[in-house]
Amino acid sequence: MRPVAVVSTAQRQEPELSGLTEVELMAPLIEKARSAVGLTQADIGFTCSGSSDFLAGQAFSFVMTLDAVGPVPPIAESHVEMDGAWALYEAWVKLQIGEIDTALVYSYGKSSPGSIRDVLATQLDPYYVAPLWPDSWALGALQARVLLEGGVVSERRMAEIAARSQSHAAGNANAVRAGTPTVDDLLDTAFVADPLRPHDCAATADGGVAVVLAADDRAGDLSDRPAWIRGIDHRIDAHHFGVRDLVAAPSAALAARHAGLGSDRVDIAELHSPFTTSEHLLTDALGLDEAAVTINPSGGALAGDTLMASGLMRIAEVADRISAGTADRGVAHASSGPWLQQNLVCVMGAD
């Protein structure tokens, strides 16, 4: 495949961005990502974004946000109703065709206007499941129960994952949940959805992220140390609850294999895990050796989960570390749907 790299990123994440519209949130981030590599919109070959009308509570919500790009004169542009990681995938595909050399990808989400755990219930089977309004924590708890009873994880292991996330997040200005709790402290807290405690559930956030991609020599022109995409793939599992295996994440493992993870050593992994239990599953599905790989150096999605942007933020976090020289190889992961139904894996490196 044609070499494509992340050459610039900009992101912002807070517990609640109640004073800004999506346009006001994204315009400075898009400008920051472009200008950091000396580009204007006229230099961008293709633009792609990801967002959700159900988060915004408005049909066609992405249309107004397009103003943040400044699409005059007209631009080659598309939008996915998915996490921005899939928008990046679409842009990567366009770059493979070989007619353009640069792309802008952005995504954003504000879950604060609605009740996110109820909003997510509308993703479920509309005839049999959604009318029961199972909230997203309850679904996470169902899976956690299966994992605990099956001896796949322990509550202590879950708390260890949470503690690690929070301590890594202490160095991340965009994280919304950071600290240095002990595992015993965490295990002392009350359940929110038994067997899940607050620290087991990702900290919901508002935010956005913009990324510039460049291909071939253009990447080297724009960045001293581009974060090359060595492999990228995404897969989906079945949706219906009766056919899901809750102790595995088969589409994550499949995407990892197709992205070439496993043939490469990686230094860091950024995982979009909505729960501590899903982080455990993902570590296994991606075959990550925790002794050799730093998991979620930013704190990961557990430390701040901006729905529709979390996956692209994971890619940005890995790219930033590669470009800064603090990592040589890394893997970023994005997920969507209940119980990690859909997964994207992006393997990146300095070479």
Partner 1 sequence: MAGQRCAVVGVGQTKYESTRGDVSMPGLVREAALRALADAEMEWADIDAVVIGKAPDFFEGVMMPELYLAEALGCVGKPILRVHTAGSVGGSTALVAASLVQAGVHGRVLTLGYEKQSESNAMWALSLPQPFQTSVNAGAGGYFSPIIRQYMTRSNAPDLIGCMVAFKDRRHALRNPYAHLHQTDLTFDQVVDSPMLWDPIRYSETCPSSDGACAMVLTDETAADRASKPVAWVHGTAMRSEANNFPGRDEVNPAASRQCAAEVFAQAGIRDPRNEIDVVEMYVPFSWYEPMWLESIGFCDEGEGWKLVEEGVTNFEGGDLPVNCSGGVLSSNPIGASGMIRFAEAALQVRGMAGDHQVDGVSKAFGHAYGGGAQYFAMWVLGTDKP
Partner 2 sequence: MTGSEVPPIDLPDLDVSAIEAIEGVEPVRSVRTPIRLDYRYVPGRAAVTYLEAMAEKRILGQRDPDTGHVFVPPRGVNPASGRVLDEFVELPDRGHVGSFCITNVPIPGRDDLSLPYASCWIFLDGADIGFLGLVAGCDPDEVRLGMRVAAKWKPDDELTASAENIRWWEPTGEPDMPLDEIRGGRGA
Binding site for partner 2 (CB under 8 A): 18-21, 23-24, 27-28, 30-31, 41, 54, 57, 64, 67-70, 72, 112-115, 118-119, 122, 126-127, 130-131
Per DSSP (E only), the strands in 154-280 are 206-215, 227-236, 268-270
Single-letter code of the amino acid located at 192: V
* Contact call for residue 124 and partner 1 (CB under 8 A): yes
Q: Which residue stretch of 7-15, 77-85, 157-165, 321-329 sits at the interface with partner 1 (rule: CB under 8 A)?
A: 77-85
Strands 227-236 and 102-110: unpaired
Torsion of CA 258, 263, 268, 272, to 10 degrees: 20
Nearer to partner 1 among residue 82 and residue 144 (C-beta): 82
* Contact call for residue 283 and partner 1 (CB under 8 A): no
131 backbone dihedrals φ, ψ, rounded to 5°:
-60, -15
Token pair listed for 159: 């708390």
Nearer to partner 2 among residue 110 and residue 164 (C-beta): 110
Nearer to partner 2 among residue 41 and residue 167 (C-beta): 41
Nearer to partner 1 among residue 199 and residue 235 (C-beta): 235
Three-class DSSP category at 111: coil
What is the spatial distance between Cα 309 and Cα 20, in angstroms, rounded to a whole number? 16
* Contact call for residue 93 and partner 1 (CB under 8 A): yes
If one counts every other C-beta atom within 10 angstroms of the C-beta of residue 59, the result is: 8
- Least separation in angstroms between residue 47's CB and partner 2 is 11
Degrees (nearest 5) of the Cα angle 2, 295, 281?
Answer: 95
Contact positions toward partner 1, by CB under 8 A? Answer: 1, 52-54, 57-60, 62-64, 66-67, 70-82, 86, 89-90, 93-94, 96-99, 119-120, 122-127, 130, 233-240, 243, 250-251, 254, 336-338, 341-342
